[in-house]
Amino acid sequence: MTQPFRLEFQVRDYELDIQGIVNNGVYFNYLEHARHEYLLAKGVDFAALAQDGIHLVVIRSELDYKAPLKSGDRFVVEVTTERLGKVRFGFRQRVIRLADDKVMLDGLVTGTALNERGRPYISPAIESLFEA
């Protein structure tokens, strides 16, 4: 198995809710940014695909919150991909606090690509993510 892509973050105060922990919705932003950076690192330009009429879309998100992040916590988001079907792919993602390597979140974000007619389409760029 290949090493996961890792992107480092730090919790900012405005991401906290009234309880002093990262709001659950903020994790979606962390995960999305990490996916986009992962794609760029693999040579897949999300914006260029959209300009070419290929739209990568999320069709399902499954997030298991294990423990809360707090202000100033440094953490990484790990990303790996897997094929989930003919036109579906998954991003396995984990949020790991760096201070103690504790897994704070486990997630599976399922996506597909749509062509200019809105039909599922796996472009060669996306297909390349699953090559050995």
How crowded is the C-beta side of 62, counted as CA atoms within 13 Å?
A: 6
Element (H, E) at 37: helix 26-41
Catalytic: which of 13, 17, 101, 106? 17
* Active-site annotation holds for 17: yes
Distance CA(73)–CA(132), nearest Å, equals 35
Question: In terms of Cα–Cα distance, which of 100, 76, 98, 79 is closest to 89?
Answer: 79
The residue count for the chain: 132
Question: In terms of Cα–Cα distance, which of 31, 42, 41, 61 is closest to 123?
Answer: 42
Q: What residues act catalytically? A: 17
